[in-house]
Chains A and B, each alone.
Chain A
Amino acid sequence: AQSVTQPDIHITVSEGASLELRCNYSYGATPYLFWYVQSPGQGLQLLLKYFSGDTLVQGIKGFEAEFKRSQSSFNLRKPSVHWSDAAEYFCAVGAGTASKLTFGTGTRLQVTL
């Protein structure tokens, strides 16, 4: 069975600083990988996804993520964080034929001004 680890429960960055959120997955074959963002009291919004091809994928809101097979990682990055990026971020891996996702436990991002 697949699994996802987000090692950082909480991260604080200053506005304008760069951001990297870590995600490690476990799955025997090439996974489908996703990053979602959740603002307080809201549902989850898809930021970006990796299915195949170019290992650097671009998403919405200026985010990008890089798939590294050798490290089983799919880290999320943003060059310059805005205060509105404060939210919880979830990494997810998809596998199998039933279109199911397994989510990490999330990383809460705080942005200081």
Chain B
Amino acid sequence: DAGITQSPRHKVTETGTPVTLRCHQTENHRYMYWYRQDPGHGLRLIHYSYGVKDTDKGEVSDGYSVSRSKTEDFLLTLESATSSQTSVYFCAISQEVHEQYFGPGTRLTVT
């Protein structure tokens, strides 16, 4: 299994609070991704990174920001959490040719 960890694995937070999710890899892969998974929607790309300090938006980026200051870490921040951001968040990594490997996920509940 690819060396990908996500923290925290579970989090409950209140509406309006900031939340940061962390993805850490030990594979030295170039690309990193954040997805959210919701019933009936599959996985939707939030943001991705193609190198240190190089990031871009995915299809559902509103309300989210990311940062990548080191190859191994990719942070996803919800500046002011809303109930619509209750979801399971997955990090993925890729070196080339689109083949992505996924972390175990973070279940976020916004009350």
Q: How far is the CB of B52 from chain A (nearest CB, A)?
A: 15
Given contacts A43-B105, A44-B90, contact A105 B42 (CB under 8 A): yes
- CB-CB contacts of A52-71 with B at 8 A, as 1s and 0s? 00000000000000000000
- Cβ of B78 < 8 Å from any Cβ of A? no
Given contacts A98-B48, A98-B50, contact A51 B97 (CB under 8 A): yes
- For B103, what are the chain A residues with a Cβ–Cβ distance below 8 Å? 43
- For A42, what are the chain B residues with a Cβ–Cβ distance below 8 Å? 104-105
- Cβ of A74 < 8 Å from any Cβ of B? no
- For B40, what are the chain A residues with a Cβ–Cβ distance below 8 Å? 105
- Contact: B101 with A98, CB < 8 Å? no
Q: Tell me the interface secondary structure of chain A in the complex.
A: strand
Q: Quick one: closest B residue to A93, CB to CB?
A: B98
- For A11, what are the chain B residues with a Cβ–Cβ distance below 8 Å? none
Given contacts A43-B90, A99-B31, A103-B42, contact A94 B98 (CB under 8 A): yes
- CB-CB contacts of B51-91 with A at 8 A, as 1s and 0s? 00000101000000000000000000000000000000010
Taking a contact as CB atoms closer than 8 A, the residue among B33, B50, B56, B97 that contacts A32 in the complex is B97
- For B58, what are the chain A residues with a Cβ–Cβ distance below 8 Å? 100
- Contact: A105 with B41, CB < 8 Å? yes
Q: Quick one: closest A residue to B105, CB to CB?
A: A43
- For A44, what are the chain B residues with a Cβ–Cβ distance below 8 Å? 43, 90, 92, 102
- Cβ of A25 < 8 Å from any Cβ of B? no
> Among A46, A90, A100, A104, which residue has the most Cβ atoms of chain B within 10 A?
A100
Q: How far is the CB of A15 from chain B (nearest CB, A)?
A: 26
- Contact: A104 with B42, CB < 8 Å? yes
- Cβ of A34 < 8 Å from any Cβ of B? yes
Given contacts A43-B90, A105-B42, contact A98 B56 (CB under 8 A): yes
Which A residues are closer than 8 A to B by beta carbons?
A: 32, 34, 36, 42-46, 49, 51, 90, 94, 98-106
Between A and B, 7 residue pairs with Cβ closer than 8 Å are A43-B102, A43-B103, A43-B104, A43-B105, A44-B43, A98-B50, A100-B33
